[in-house]
Amino acid sequence: MVALADAAGKPVPHRRRIMAGMRPTGKLHVGHLLGALRTFIALSEEGECFYEVADLHALTTKFDRGAEIAADVREMVLDWLAAGLDPQRCTIYLQSRIPEISELAIILSMLTPLSWLERVPTYKEQIEILGPHLATHGFLGYPVLQTVDIAIMRGERVPVGQDQLPHLELSREIIRRFNHFYGPVLVEPEPMLSQTPLVPGTDGRKMSKSYDNSILLAESEEETRAKVTTMFTDPAKIHKTDPGHPETCPVFFFQRAFNPSAADEIAQRCRTGRLGCVEDKADMARHLNAALAPLRERRAALAAQPRLVEEVLAEGTRRARTVAAQTLADVRAAMGM
C-alpha cells in the first residue's frame, strides 16, 4: 500500500476502508435507525466508508416488481440523509449502476462450491418463511453477490451483528479461494462486531416490515402515537397497581433508548405498581416523537428537492465505480483474461 503524506510530507494515517450495504425496502423504521444507520453515521467519521444501496439484492424477493425497487431506493436514501449520513464524508452508491459488480459476481460464482451456499443457515429458513418461489439461482447465490459487494470496493472492515458473522466468514472463504488460485488480489475483510440492539416492534417481535410491526421514521406524530397506543406490554401487568417487568416490555425498550435519563425511575414505578401502561405509552410516544422531530423535518426538506437523491447516487456511484473498475482490472489481469 502506498504511504500517504500531507502537503508538509508528514505521514497521514491510513483510514481503513469500511464497506456496508442495505437492501432497499422503502421507508426505514426505528429499528434501522438504532441498528445499522447510527453505526453507518458513526463510522463515516473514522473510516473511508462505502455505503451501497443494494438494489440487485432486492431483486431476490422482488424479481417480478422491479419498478417498486426504484421507489424504495429513493425513500431509503432520503432516510439515510435525513438521519445524518453525509455524502461528503462517505460514498453512497447504487449497486445496479456498477456493472463491474455483476461481472465479478459471475467470476466468483464459478469458483464457489455449491455446498458452501447450500449450508448457509438462512437459505432454507428464508425459503420456508417466504415460500418456495424464492428458490432461485439468484437467491442461492446471494452470498456470492454479497462477497463481491465487499471485495470489489476492497472493503477492509465490515460492520456486522453477531448473527451475520457466518455470512462474512463465507465471504472470507470465497475470497481466500480466489486468492489461492490467482494470488493475493482481493482483500480479506475483517468483521467489526457492532452491538446492534434487537429492536422490538409493536407486537414485541423483532421490528420488521414483514411482520407489519414497524414504526417508520417518516411517520407523522399522530401515526406514531396511534401505533404506540396498540403496543404490546408486559402481559402480567393488567392494572396499574400490578407489578410489571420493564426489562421484557417493548415500551420500556423505547423509554431507555429515547428517554434514558428517566429510565430508572420509570422501571421502578412500573415494578412497584405506581405507573400504568396507558400513561407510560403516552410518555414514551412523546419522547420518541421529540427525538424523531428533527429527522422528520430534515426529511421533508430533502424530499422537496426532487433531484437530490438521484444526484447523491450519481456522484457516489461515479466514485465507487472507479474503485470497482480497478479491482476488476486487477482480477482479470491476475486470471490472465
Q: Does 147 sit near ligand SF4 (CB under 6 A)?
A: no
Per-residue x/- marks for ligand SF4, 64-103, CB under 6 A?
Answer: ----------------------------------------
Copy the grid coordinates of residue 211.
411482520
Q: How far apart are CA 236 and CA 243, in angstroms?
A: 8
> Could you tell me if 96 and 56 are in contact, meaning their C-beta atoms sit under 8 angstroms apart?
yes
Q: How far apart are CA 278 and CA 284, in angstroms?
A: 10
Q: Does 288 sit near ligand SF4 (CB under 6 A)?
A: no
Is the CB of 51 or the CB of 253 nearer to ligand SF4?
Answer: 253
Q: How far apart are CA 54 and CA 313, in angstroms?
A: 12
Q: How far apart are CA 187 and CA 176, in angstroms?
A: 9
Q: How far is the CB of 290 from ligand SF4 (least distance, A)?
A: 18
Per-residue x/- marks for ligand SF4, 237-266, CB under 6 A?
Answer: x------x-x--x-xx--------------
**Distance of CA 329 to CAs 30, 43, 176, 205, 325, Å?**
40, 29, 18, 46, 6
> Site for ligand SF4 (CB under 6 A): how many residues?
13
Copy the grid coordinates of residue 323.
474503485
17 backbone dihedrals φ, ψ, rounded to 5°: -85, 125
Is the CB of 129 or the CB of 282 nearer to ligand SF4?
Answer: 282
Is the CB of 156 or the CB of 280 nearer to ligand SF4?
Answer: 280
Is the CB of 141 or the CB of 276 nearer to ligand SF4?
Answer: 276
Q: How far is the CB of 287 from ligand SF4 (least distance, A)?
A: 12
**CA torsion through residues 180, 186, 190, 192, sign:** negative
Q: Helical H runs in 111-216?
A: 114-118, 121-130, 137-140, 142-152, 165-182
Is the CB of 46 or the CB of 279 nearer to ligand SF4?
Answer: 279
Q: How far apart are CA 90 and CA 327, in angstroms?
A: 19
**Distance of CA 104 to CAs 53, 186, 241, 336, Å?**
18, 11, 62, 15
Q: Does 270 sit near ligand SF4 (CB under 6 A)?
A: yes
Q: Are strands 48-53 and 17-22 parallel, antiparallel or unpaired?
A: parallel
Q: Which one of 19, 41, 277, 288 is in contact with ligand SF4 (CB under 6 A)?
A: 277
Give, as ranges, the residues between 175 and 234 that touch ligand SF4 (CB under 6 A): 233-234
Is the CB of 73 or the CB of 228 nearer to ligand SF4?
Answer: 228
Q: Does 275 sit near ligand SF4 (CB under 6 A)?
A: yes
Q: How far is the CB of 284 from ligand SF4 (least distance, A)?
A: 8
Provide the binding-site residues for ligand SF4, judged by CB under 6 A: 233-234, 237, 244, 246, 249, 251-252, 270, 275, 277, 280-281
